[in-house]
Amino acid sequence: MECKQTSLVLTIKNERKIITMSKKEITKEDIEQIQNASLGSSFWEMQLGIGLKYEYVEGNIKFSAPYPEIGRKFWKAFKFELHEFLCDRKTKEPQEWLKDLITGDIRNLVVSICSLITSKYDVSLGIALPVAALIIKNGTLNYCSNSPKKSKKTVLQILKNFKI
């Protein structure tokens, strides 16, 4: 299986960002962006929207789309579905395996959440990384203590709608 790369250049607050649509690995820069306090949920929702829009695109096709809106809707579906995997329903705390990662190196936490997402949904890091970032940015303990509402569409239904 060949992994092709497509890049998109965005300007956010006068800062140019080159976003690779088909990520092959989690880089040090990715971890730094997750830890960057000025890159909040809206940034990662936009990244999720971009990741979803380009998930099934081959070649050098470019789109103009309401990425933040797409990302917010997709995040809502992910929030609900991942809650049961990451959180204990009774205690409303992170699962034991996740608790161990929260107190350790953030890279291990990001890699673990991304691995869960990529294997469960068969998606790329272009989707998994922003979702992991949103879970971490919202605070993993906070994420687990608040039971999210069910989305109108499941993650798989949304993914199916974006397949070309």
Amino acid identity, residue 42? Answer: S
Residue pLDDT, tens place only, 10-41? 444 444 444 444 567 899 999 999 999 999 99
Residue ranges covered by each domain of the chain? 26-162
In order, the DSSP letters of 141-159 are HHHHHSPPPPPSS-HHHHH
* pTM > 0.85: no
Mean pLDDT along residues 154-160: 95
Q: Give the Cα separation of 120 and 58 in Å (integer).
A: 22
